[in-house]
Structure 1
Amino acid sequence: MAKLTEDQLAQLKTSLQQRYLDLREEVRGELESSGEQRYIELAGSVRDAGDGSVADLLLDINTAMVDRQVHEMREVETSLKRLAELNFGDCIDCGSEIGFDRLMAYPTALRCVRCQDVYEKTYSHEGTPTL
C-alpha cells in the first residue's frame, strides 16, 4: 500500500463514502424524474416524427446519465474495497505510489500519472466509433 498517513487515509475514505452517497442520490433523482409517465407525457404531445425523436432522445440521455453514475458507483465501491484490503494507492501497472494529491482529486484513480498518460495514449481510440 502507498505510504499514506492515517489522516490521509481517513480523508480519502470520507471522500469516497461521500461521493458514493452523492451518486446514489443522483441516480435516485434521475430514476424518479425519468419515469414511464414522463415519456407518456412527452410522446402524447408529439406532433410529428421529429418531436417523437426528441422524446426518445431525452429518455436516452437520462439512461446514459444513470449508466455513467452507476459505473462511477462501482469504481467507488472498488476503491473502498482496495482501501480496506490495504492495496489502495498503488498503481495497478507499475506498482509505484499514486500520490495523495492525485487521489484527493480523483479518489478512484488506479494508475499513477505517468502510467495513466501511457494508458490514455495507448487506448484512446477504444470506444470511438469508426466507419
Structure 2
Amino acid sequence: MTTLTPKQIQELEGQLKTRQTQLLAEIRNELAQSGDQHYIDLSGRVTDLGDESVADMLADLEAAHLDRQINDLRDIETALARIKAGEFGQCAECGDEVAFNRLQAYPTATRCIFCQEKHEKEYAGEGQHSL
C-alpha cells in the first residue's frame, strides 16, 4: 500500500497527463511529416551508395525515435491505469512504496530504488544504468 497523499498523486497524475499530451502531439506530427514519402524524398536525393546508406540511417533513426516515444506513451498509460486502480507508487517487485521524489523525477517508475538497482545489476550489467 502506498502512503502517497491524494495531493501528491494528483500532482504526479498531472505530470503524466501533460507528458501524454505532448507525446501524442509529437507522434502525430512525426507521422504526418514522415512516412514513406519522407523516405522517398531522402532516397531520391542520393547520388551514390554512401548517400543511400546515410538516407537509410536517417530513416532508421527516425523510426527508433518514434518507437521510443510510443514506448514512453505506453509507460504513461500504464502509470495512469495504476493510479486508477489505486496501485500507483507501489513497487512491482517487493510491494514497498516507491519514494515520492523518485516518482517526481520519473513518474512511470514501477520499482523502488532498491529493486531498480537490483534489476539493473541482474539484467543491464554493472556499467549501464537506466531510470
For residue 22 of structure 1, what is the aligned residue in structure 2? 22
Q: Cα offset for 1:39? A: 1.8
What pairs up with 1:1-131 in 2 under 5 angstroms?
1-125=1-125
TM-score w.r.t. length of structure 2: 0.91
1:20-42: CA deviations, max 9, x gaps? Answer: 11111111122122232222222
Aligned length in residues: 126
Equivalent residue letter for 1:113: I
| 3-state DSSP of counterpart to 1:97 | coil
TM-score w.r.t. length of structure 1: 0.91
- Percent of counterpart pairs with the same letter? 47
For residue 129 of structure 1, what is the aligned residue in structure 2? none
Q: Cα offset for 1:83? A: 0.4
- Which stretch shows the higher mean deviation, 36-45 or 3-12? 36-45
1:62-100: CA deviations, max 9, x gaps? Answer: 111111111111110010000000011011111110011
Q: Cα offset for 1:57? A: 0.9
Q: Which stretches of structure 1, 4 residues or longer, exceed 3 Å deviation after superposition?
A: none
Equivalent residue letter for 2:119: Y
Mapped partners of 1:82, 1:3: distance in 2:
14
